[in-house]
Every structure is written in C-alpha cells, then in structure tokens.
A and B are shown apart, each in its own frame.
Chain A
C-alpha cells in the first residue's frame, strides 16, 4: 500500500512535470521571437541589474532603446565609461565620453561669514538650520557643521579650518548624496557640475549686495568684472550672482584674476593642482597664470 502511494506520488509529479515541459517546449518553439542580434549583444555587456537608473524598467528595454537609437550608448548610469565603451563596440558606433558630474560648493563664507547667535546645539547643519533659520546670517551660505562630509559615502569631503567642506574631486563620484543631505542643497549651495568644469563661484546668495557685504566678506558683490573680462561670455551675473555656463567656459582664468572678492576658484579634474589645494585661494593659487583662449589654442597647436 505504502509503496503504491509512493509510486502514485512519483507518477503524479512526473506527469505534471512532463506536461509542463512539453507545454514549455512547444511554447518556446511556437512563440519564438527573433530578437535583433544587436539587442542581445548590447544586453550581454550591460550590467543586467535592472536597476532602472537609466529610466527604463529593465536592461532589456534599455538595450532595445540603445539599438533603436532612442537612448544614447552612454545612458547606463551604473556601468559608467566601461559599459558605454562596450556598448559602442557592440553597436559599431563611435565611443564617447560619459558626461560625469562632480559636486562643488557655492560658498566661500565659513569663518568669514557672520553669525546672528552662538549656536551650541546638536552639531549638524540640519539641526542648526531648523533653529530659527540657523545661526548663519546669510540665507544661502554654508552652516559648516559637516552634514555633507559625514554623508559622503566615498570620504571625498573634509571640513577645513575655515569651517567649509572641501570636496576632493579625485574621490567624488557624482553620487549626489551630499547635495541631498545638505539642508541648502536644493537652493544650490552644493551642486553638480561637469567634472572638467574649470571654475566655480564661491557664493550662493541672491540677497541685496550691501546686506550681503555686511554679513560676509567673501561674497560675490555682483560687480560684473568677471562678466566683462570673460572672452567667451561664459560667466554672467544673474539676479545679483555670477553664474558659470560650463558649455562655454574654456578655463582661461581671467575671471579668477579679475574678481575683487577672490570668490571665483579654479577647480575641476583638469586644474593645475589638486582641486582641494585651490579651494578658497582664487587668484592667489600658487602657479596660477590666466591664459587667454587664443594662447590656449596656440599652446595646443604647438
């Protein structure tokens, strides 16, 4: 009896298994879809994590979009440059650089900015910011309690003696964690710029210029000297604050030299020295010589 039951159980499961197998075999033949071989090639080099960072629900859909040209070969966020090159290879198109971004700080205040009261509460920016708007008089500047430095997963941010976070661009991956963590990240105190963006304006305030000068000695005073000296029109004063158009900026450094407040810094991964050493120095940076664009061209030609 028991043996019969075992046999029956085996038979039952085998029958179900066989039916399922037969059904699936037939289905795979009958419902076979000829996939574009290029899609399979692209799919093979994509990470296959279906992370969705590219805006597609899965790597398969992303591969289809890349083949059809709807999505650039550099679209895979997780894969970075390596995957972008592999995809370009698989599709036989020209390789191109992934537009990587890094974080920059738009404030040069720190100890140069005045505080409206002595804050001795929890030493975090978000706590300080919630207490009557924070101790910092400037409505857009850096509190300096290091939320970004603690949040950075790559240890790229350190607090310097001025009480400002200094971002090591060699370590910054552009993950945007610091921007999200910063209580003033949404108003542009920390922002993502192209990794080779050569300069950065160390001010984020749109306050009246006189008020701004009263509470911070390092601010942008909207004097427009940078705007006048820039040969490519890359730096423009908008709403009382100099802003850089990184598409146009050639990194000549004339604005850095012209700035009377010393509030434009050289930065970027191609700067003359590691970006951390240039932080806050502006035109006083060692070895800094502004190069006009025509001379730049001549240099590259020679």
Chain B
C-alpha cells in the first residue's frame, strides 16, 4: 500500500503541484504556440505524453548502461539526451507512419515539433538523473518511479495546455480592447492561470 500511495502522490505532485508549465515555466513555447485552438492542443498533449514516456525510458537505459559506467554522465547528459530523444522521435515517426497511419495522422506534425522540446528534456533529466534536489522534491528515482513521474509531468502539461486553449478560444470572442487582443491577453491569462496553479502548493502536504 505504501508504494501505491507513494506512486499516486508522485503522479499528483508531478502533474498538478509542480506543473511543468504553470508552476515551473518550462516548455512555454508550445504553451503559447499551439494553444490557439482546442484541436491543436489536444494533438500536442497526446504527442507530449507519448514522447515524454518514451524519452524517459530511452534516456534511463542510456544513462545506466552507457553514461554512468563510463563516468561521463554528469557533464555529457544534455547532448546525449538530446541525441537520444531526437533519434527516438524520428524512429517513432517512421514506425507510426507504417504501423498506425491513424495515430500518425492524429499526432502528425506535432511529433517533429517536440523533438528537442525543453519540457521533454527536463522531464527526462529530472527523472533519470539521480541526486537532484530542487523545489522540495528529491529526484532520486528507480525506473518505475521515473516512469510514473514522467507520465505525471506529461499529463500536467496536457491539462494545463488544454485549459489554456479553452480559455483562449473563449477570449477570441470576448470584447477585449484592441491593444490587448491576441498575445497580450494570452500572457495575462497565463499569469492568472499560473497563480491558480500556485494555489495547489501544499496539496496532500506535497
């Protein structure tokens, strides 16, 4: 039971309390780039969940099999992870195009977009690299924990993105003063949404 509770808390902590977009401000480019409509953000959210999980799995393997035994992990992990994630996304794109055209169409253009997305790199780094300690969380995960954490981060990304997209769609038809229309209004909305997410700090003592 203790493990189950631990995993559940990890999931909620990663998704809501330490929301990657609105509490920690990582991955803000897609947050503003694709959030103008619900359709595109749904595609992006799906692609992020998919790629983040895969990326963590792959980087975990490379960290533990190659980088750590060679003793180069500490300074080489960023280029190595980018290389691994980029190649992996390319591979997955090819595979999907052959094996599942429907999924390929759904994720389509969003897959290459997140090849070197900072949120993907951040999630992989935090969950794979041991001994990291920041924002009250000690990042020292086993493989299972790493995977749960990554899924949590990705789900948090998706939820925040979809909420923001829904708000922006409403704001499109709202009587906003001309000088505030578009991006300025999006920035203000994002700020308020971020304040809302900060209110989740302390949830379940996290």
Contact = CB atoms under 8 A, between A and B. Distances in A.
Interface of A: 5, 8-9, 11-13, 15-17, 19-21, 23-24, 27-28, 30-33, 50, 57-58, 61
Q: Is chain B's binding surface mostly helix, strand, loop or mixed?
A: helix
A23 B95 CA distance: 11
Q: Is chain A's binding surface mostly helix, strand, loop or mixed?
A: helix
A36 to B, nearest CB: 14
B97 A16 contact: no
Contacts of B174: none
Contacts of B108: 57-58, 61
Contacts of B71: 5, 8
A280 B155 CA distance: 61
Given A27-B95, A31-B95, A50 B109 contact: yes
Interface of B: 62, 66-67, 70-72, 75-76, 79-80, 83-84, 86-88, 90-91, 94-95, 97-99, 105, 108-109
Contact of A17 (B83, B95, B98, B99): B83
A58 B109 contact: yes
17 contacts: A12-B66, A12-B70, A12-B72, A12-B76, A13-B76, A13-B79, A16-B62, A20-B87, A23-B87, A23-B91, A27-B94, A28-B94, A32-B98, A33-B97, A50-B109, A57-B105, A58-B108
Contacts of B67: 12
B109 A24 contact: no
A32 B71 CA distance: 38
A24 B87 contact: yes
Given A28-B94, A31-B94, A16 B84 contact: yes
Chain A to chain B: the 9 pairs with minimum beta-carbon distance, closest first: A20-B87, A31-B98, A31-B94, A27-B94, A8-B70, A9-B72, A8-B72, A12-B72, A9-B76
Contacts, number: 62
Contacts of A11: 70
Given A5-B72, A57-B108, A13 B83 contact: yes
Contacts of A20: 83-84, 86-88
B90 A24 contact: yes
Most interface-central of B67, B87, B90 (chain A CB within 10 A) = B87
A93 B27 CA distance: 46
Nearest to B76: A9
A105 B75 CA distance: 66
B140 to A, nearest CB: 22
Contact of B80 (A12, A21, A23, A58): A12
Contacts of A58: 108-109
